Amino acid sequence: YVNPILIIFSKPKNEIDSYIHMINSQNNQVLPYVISNNKNENITDFFDFNNNNLVFITNNKKENIIYIINFDSSFEVSYIKKIIIKENILSMKLFNNYLAIRSSINEIIIYDIIECKSIISLNDKNLLYFDLKFNTVVVLIKEEKPTLYIYEIKPDFQLIGKKVIDYLTDEPKIYI
């Protein structure tokens, strides 16, 4: 499966505004939606599109607002939801109906974006990196030896695997 929607984030030189444009790559049509800053919120560079959901994050200097826009099969807006987070956001992963956010307090919060509620929260001061795919989240923790923890998200959040890593680069990343 190849996602037919291209997301373009732009911030023209010498302008304050940022923009998100969407293009349907199957027919080369620009979708009639342009998302930009407003007087109270600035778009951050956290955005993704998966399973007909566009997720992007804005900041209003007090909090981060996560917008979830769901599109139907003809790419008309079905609904818009939002989630507010007080902490700074360091990274974001989106897969199907799961959204994982890493905050500045080394917490990973996993949201079910259909229900628009958090379903899991992990907090570890030694968190290095994480990734999310299907029904799985993988977390890399700096311990005596760096360790990968593999969790199944649903039906019950549980550890399904663990792997000690002998060597890491300075900026480790994992992809599942």
The pLDDT score that the predictor gives to residue 27 is 83
The pLDDT score that the predictor gives to residue 40 is 85
Residue 41, φ and ψ in degrees, nearest 5:
-135, 140
Q: Which residue has the tokens 């620009």?
A: 30
The pLDDT score that the predictor gives to residue 10 is 84
Sheet holding 117-123, edge to edge: 89-95, 98-103, 107-112, 117-123
Which residues are registered as beta bridge partners of 48?
55
Q: Which residues of the chain have pLDDT under 50?
A: 1
The closest alpha carbon to 141, from 114, 153, 123, belongs to 123
The pLDDT score that the predictor gives to residue 3 is 65
- Taking the C-alpha atoms of residue 124 and residue 142, their distance in angstroms, rounded to an integer, is 9
